[in-house]
Structure 1
Amino acid sequence: MNEKKYHNYTVEEFLNDQDFIRFVKYNLQDDVAFWKGWVEANAGHLENYNLAFKELKYILSAEHIQIPPFFIEELWVDIKASITEREVKKMKIRRTAIWISSIAASLVFAVFSAWYFNSDVVVKTAFGETKIVTLDDSTKIHLNSNSVLTMPRAYLWKKVRSVSLDGEAYFRVRHLNVDPATIQRGDLFVVHTPTVQIQVLGTEFNVRDRRHEAQVALISGRVLVRSMKTGKEFSMIPGNVFKNNMLNEGITSSAAQSISPSSWIEGKLILKQAKVSEIIAAFQDRYGYKVVIEDQNLLNEVIDGTISLKDENGVLFTLSNILNVNIKKEGSVITLTSRR
């Protein structure tokens, strides 16, 4: 956060600042430290800060109060009894105008609120493209190629932090839970995919959901994975890889990682006894080609080492030399033919 930008902030600017909202709402340790230091260093710039802080606290704690109809009616009777008939007429005109204006303003506010709290922000990546998305709570998401990430526009205001993923992404979730023994509903972070639901606290993990199969690889922290089809839940520990296939309901959990789950972030595949079929699947997901291998036995060949993903021709050149095959590219179809 940039300290200087807050010196001349108006109350409205404070109320629209996502970092300030997060500080007031969640009271995170890093945010508290930042704002405490800023307050101490800016004693002459606190008027708008204090007003915004109080107003936001009030908004977050306020509850809607229903005014009984009889109260309004009795109040109006008292008002009419204390003013002249002419003033009553003027009052009626003013009251009607105010009522119409209020209704119009309320409708606009209601429509905007409904849109804001019920709409989503969608981030997409094309083939060969990756993106880094930073959420308002400082959670970072690395989105792989040909993937879609969907999150609520009012993310900070939701009781549960949640996003939806179709494709692959690597998550570094911001830990909000201060007391390990007490987990509040708002401390959780939930990822929804077509195949599984992943419930976490602060942690790092990779999720891939393609072709009706989800794979979750936990790097650190804690993760609870639930199959959307069977409802079964699995608690994962760091190093575990969880797979769930929606078509055959197959569920497996192991520590074997033939392809490093986070290596794609650096634009490469780190392989440990990885099958050629897995490498080709990763290549197809990255660049959108359909790869055909004439000799199906090659799909079960295993490879150790590192293959760069930064250039599609580099991947094909590496495979052609390792597998001793010729490469023929026709539009979006690539055919590998054995040289033997």
Structure 2
Amino acid sequence: MNKENDILKWFNGDISTTEIKKRYPDEDFSALEKTAFYAKQIDTPKVDAQKALAEFKTKAFKKEASKVIPLNFQSFLKVAAVLVVMLTSSYFLFFNNTKSYSTEIAQTETFNLPDNSEVILNAQSKLSFNKKEWKNNRSLDLEGEAFFKVTKGEKFTVNTDAGSIQVLGTQFNVKERSNYFEVQCYEGSVSVTHNKQKVILTPGKSFRVINNEIDLTKDFNAENPSWLAKESSFDNVPLWQVINELEIQYNIIIDASKVDVTKAFSGSFTHVDKNIALQSVTIPLKLSYKINGNKVEFYDYAKN
């Protein structure tokens, strides 16, 4: 009963979402989170208790043999709230077929889709799909970055805000961050659609969009994306995108207001040592940095 009691406390706001997930890390709370959300949207009846009681007494005195039965509005509202939660829970448990995976800062997750295709989700990313329709429609939504090893079969589609990717069976990487979209093909062929423009990628080819502008890229010969080996690599990428990735991998906030964040960076940084990572980015660009807790400031050598 401990789990049930904890979940009830969570619904009442006595336990935070972070705390309940720490206590039960293997539990999928996505459906319950939606339940709590919709339950909160339903307004409970607002009753003027004094006015209602006065009207009730007036009617009671007009009938000699009538009995006064006190109304417990609080109990009524509690029962109503429980019914709302039960009905909403039933909907999400039996009719909601959306399956979701998500990662936090500096976290990755590996899992298999219903067709046994493998997905590795990079830090601060989210993927979702319809379990019931998957057999006939291998389509999913992605926010962030993921590497796919797709089993052969019907068309496989990855949808992002920046564009869509379609394959039959292949290995590819998709990165969709703020103002940045990149697809890299490692095996087979990949069809990428962006703003109604379609591009076919073969192994070693990339398609990149920065600030909604298509950016030409060089071919690559890697077998897997570098982030699978806990390293982020960049080829002629604006510094602001490198900074975004540093913040995602190390849970830091970087102030780069004193430097030119549009300058291009080519290189890599490790995911296992913050200082080495910062040095790997700043030294080639002739920058320096200061660390204060989880805040980092970038500045030019010449100005300090």
Q: Which residue of 1 aligns with 2:32?
A: none
Q: Quick one: structure 1 residues 218 and 253, their matched pair in 2 at CA, closer, same or farther if it must change by over 3 Å? A: farther
Amino acid of the residue matched to residue 232 of structure 1? Q
Is the 8 Å Cα contact of residues 259 and 269 (structure 1) preserved in structure 2?
Answer: no
Q: Quick one: structure 1 residues 258 and 222, their matched pair in 2 at CA, closer, same or farther if it must change by over 3 Å? A: closer
Distance in 1 (CA, whole Å) between partners of 2:229 and 2:272 is 9
Q: Mark the runs of 5 or more structure 1 residues left unpaired by the alignment.
A: 1-110, 177-186
Residue among 153, 166, 184 paired with 1:217: 184
Q: Mark the runs of 5 or more structure 2 residues left unpaired by the alignment.
A: 1-88
Amino acid of the residue matched to residue 196 of structure 1? G
Q: Which residue of 2 aligns with 1:132?
A: 110
Structure 1 length normalisation: TM-score?
0.54
Q: Which residue of 2 aligns with 1:234?
A: 199
| DSSP-derived class of the 1:296 partner | coil
Structure 1 residue 334 corresponds to structure 2 residue 296: yes
Residue among 170, 175, 179 paired with 1:203: 170
Is the 8 Å Cα contact of residues 127 and 143 (structure 2) preserved in structure 1?
Answer: yes
RMSD: 3.3
Structure 2 length normalisation: TM-score?
0.59
| DSSP-derived class of the 2:243 partner | helix
Residue among 315, 319, 323 paired with 2:277: 315
Structure 1 residue 250 corresponds to structure 2 residue 228: no
Higher helix proportion (structure 1 or 2): 1
Matches within 5 A, 1:10-25: none
Matches within 5 A, 1:1-340: 118-154=96-132, 156=134, 158-176=135-153, 187-227=154-194, 230-244=195-209, 249-256=212-219, 262-270=225-233, 276-293=239-256, 296-297=259-260, 300=263, 302-304=265-267, 306-319=268-281, 322=284, 325-330=287-292, 332-340=294-302
Q: Quick one: structure 1 residues 175 and 258, their matched pair in 2 at CA, closer, same or farther if it must change by over 3 Å? A: closer
Is the 8 Å Cα contact of residues 235 and 266 (structure 2) preserved in structure 1?
Answer: yes
Q: Which protein is bigger by CA-based radius of gyration?
A: 1
- By how many angstroms is 1:194 displaced? 1.3
Is the 8 Å Cα contact of residues 163 and 193 (structure 2) preserved in structure 1?
Answer: yes
Identity, in percent, stands at: 24
- By how many angstroms is 1:131 displaced? 0.6
Is the 8 Å Cα contact of residues 259 and 300 (structure 2) preserved in structure 1?
Answer: no
Amino acid of the residue matched to residue 129 of structure 1? Q
Distance in 2 (CA, whole Å) between partners of 1:273 and 1:253 is 10
Amino acid of the residue matched to residue 291 of structure 1? I
Tell me the number of residue pairs that the alignment of Structure 1 and Structure 2 aligns.
Answer: 214
| DSSP-derived class of the 2:123 partner | coil
- By how many angstroms is 1:133 displaced? 1.5
Q: Which residue of 2 aligns with 1:59?
A: none
Q: Which residue of 1 aligns with 2:36?
A: none
- By how many angstroms is 1:324 displaced? 5.7
Distance in 1 (CA, whole Å) between partners of 2:212 and 2:203 is 24
Q: Quick one: structure 1 residues 261 and 160, their matched pair in 2 at CA, closer, same or farther if it must change by over 3 Å? A: same
